[in-house]
Structure 1
């Protein structure tokens, strides 16, 4: 079937890992596309005919050009492919009268404090939480919290700036670390006023999972549930291994999907991809994050759906009004390891890549930090060394394969 008359706008930040996956999906679905990006970037296989490079904050300066393209090609959808672009997608959709989540609802998902407040108002269980100014002294506010707790920025992702504290000393050190992080020019530009606040909330023990889905008319269609087999108890929270399909009991799966659906209703998310993270314990299901975007990094590579569809193809199809309700994940155990940065320094060499790739069950390895770039571990850093991919007969096998391959890797760095 020829879908060449269908047109979309993709907003792809220059630092996005998702460029190739979305461009491949556009080609496969034979769509007309306008790419909006903030800097020139490399399109490895398919360079789009129409690219607008602009400052995302000055989007109104290019609105006439975008509107002209949209009217010429009968625009159907505007998609922000990751965290940095979903606000602009909402703004453009509003200006172009394209169906989308409201700007207000998307803003709430990007502010952890506002999200917590909305979920609480809607009656979902959650941790206690308080927001403090970066200008406060940690000693002054320590009496207002209880331990253990987690401190975090309100606007960052990938566990950047997230830190568990168990004592006054750790609280003071963690608070000062966050003040230093949020004072950086890059953070002020990225977060705006949100860089002036620190969120402190109760540490929630339990098993952590995430849900990948697509929302249509406010109803969640779950595509995959990721198990996170590694304990995430702090002090930092590197999301090292994701494995799918889940091995949770069916009644637990239904329960967390119900919680996710309630959270989406509370946040007024009615359309598009979502990535929801939860913790499960004897007290119930706790929403950690509810993002109006798909899973980040290169993790979507382990999601393969019947008919050979990728996650990015499903997102595009759904945004164009095509039915994806019957979509099913291929039931084969697959996993991804986000290779952690363990020490600070300048990357000089990565040894053992061929040895890691030779481990039976490993399907790919992609590094995402270049030689001579700075390595900054969590909690201050927000990047991973790269991604390892594996498949096997079950979750345990996938986990073992990923760990064995990671053990072959040696990172050579220079201290500074």
Structure 2
């Protein structure tokens, strides 16, 4: 952190809104500590946050949550949602006490795939052709909606994220089967399956993600990843991510432009965004196509692979941005990569062997297992967690890819 930045954040207080389940709490708290920012915590769960007091908040009770924050939080200079479930609370708090925030309508649109698609369609943002399967549709109705699109297609739950509740289908007769399976995921996770589903054309090509920070609607790109091992279906586990993305200057500029258009169409103005796109090769050129956009930074522990000027973390960048401090998105030299370890079968996690050997692979900078032994696990599309994360760095993308693959091969996961 530069000296002038330190002066700008001295004695500043930030409300961190931490959901009950998240990978991100520890990294945001570490970032605040390094910056010397005083943190006020709001959460809907009992979290290992040391001796810090926690203000109880409930994303489903915005008026009560805001009242408790105003009553107990003291003076605040910024509010940051650590992860998706707290986005609406952050917007409501920002509006109530006059801090920079995203409009509630924009935040809600980021958490509803149908709303995203409709806003992008109205403004001409490139995206897959799509239809909505109404809640309660019978098998005939489901197949009729699917027949309006070309196969293969992708069926998605509107409200889930992280590749949960997403399945590729190649034939019309597969659509009702996929819809039933996704509705079971909704029922088991949310207690209800009464939700419309989205069906959209499958877009081939390289998948990328773009992270940026918004200041009054102006985006500063922080990182662009490509995903060289993204599967073609039927499920869509994100495994390997490489930064910087291997794109031509023209394709990179076009991708950033599409992501900025998608952001404006949703009405987002402040804070981090994480956009996911496919580079569609079907028309003889490379056409960036929007898949999804979230009003948060990259998920899981993936941000740990990134370091910026002065060894600044992504979470520090988010906090500085929230406080109105300009950020310099200059990454350290070389290539960074992550291998997100998917769960390959359902059962009880008994052992993860070979961790020392994996961590010793040249080019591997870290290994973090995120699920304790003894827990029952489920792969996608039912599951919503990854086994862990392997981090790597090197001089070239090929070096990092090779190191991450070698580390993965040394891990032996026992699920029974």
Same topology, TM > 0.5: yes
Please state whether the residue corresponding to 1:27 is helix, strand or coil: helix
Indicate if the aligned counterparts of 2:18 and 2:41 stay in contact, CA closer than 8 A.
Answer: yes
2:164 to 160, 165, 170: 160
Report the equivalent of 2:34.
28
Whether 2:294 is the aligned partner of 1:307: answer: no
Indicate if the aligned counterparts of 1:132 and 1:198 stay in contact, CA closer than 8 A.
Answer: yes
* TM-score, normalised via structure 1 length: 0.93
Q: Which moved more, 1:55-64 or 1:75-84?
A: 55-64
**What is the total number of aligned residue pairs between the two structures?**
403
Please state whether the residue corresponding to 1:85 is helix, strand or coil: helix
The Cα offsets for residues 296-329 of structure 1, whole Å up to 9 and x where unpaired, read as 10000011001111111111111111111x3311
* TM-score, normalised via structure 2 length: 0.93
State the distance in 1 between where 2:307 and 2:325 align: 18
State the distance in 1 between where 2:65 and 2:250 align: 50
Indicate if the aligned counterparts of 1:138 and 1:175 stay in contact, CA closer than 8 A.
Answer: no
Deviation at 1:18, TM superposition (A): 0.8
Please state whether the residue corresponding to 2:16 is helix, strand or coil: strand
2:155 to 151, 156, 160: 151
Report the equivalent of 2:66.
63
1:288 to 287, 291, 296: 291
Indicate if the aligned counterparts of 2:153 and 2:199 stay in contact, CA closer than 8 A.
Answer: yes
Report 1:56-95 matches (<5 A): 56-70=59-73, 72-73=74-75, 75-95=76-96
Report the equivalent of 2:204.
205
Indicate if the aligned counterparts of 2:14 and 2:40 stay in contact, CA closer than 8 A.
Answer: yes
Report the equivalent of 1:120.
121
The Cα offsets for residues 22-71 of structure 1, whole Å up to 9 and x where unpaired, read as 0011111111211111111113xxx363421343323433434421445x
State the distance in 2 between where 1:399 and 1:139 align: 45
Runs of 4+ in 1 over 6 A off after TM superposition: none
Structure 1: runs of 5+ lacking an equivalent: none
State the distance in 2 between where 1:48 and 1:395 align: 42
Deviation at 1:233, TM superposition (A): 1.2
Structure 2: runs of 5+ lacking an equivalent: 1-5
Whether 2:260 is the aligned partner of 1:266: answer: no
CA RMSD of aligned residues (A): 1.7
The structure-2 alpha-carbon separation of the partners of 1:372 and 1:212, relative to structure 1 and needing over 3 Å to count, comes to same
The structure-2 alpha-carbon separation of the partners of 1:278 and 1:48, relative to structure 1 and needing over 3 Å to count, comes to farther
Deviation at 1:143, TM superposition (A): 2.9
The Cα offsets for residues 113-165 of structure 1, whole Å up to 9 and x where unpaired, read as 11000001001122111111341123333133231100010111110011100
State the distance in 1 between where 2:195 and 2:276 align: 25
Report the equivalent of 1:408.
410
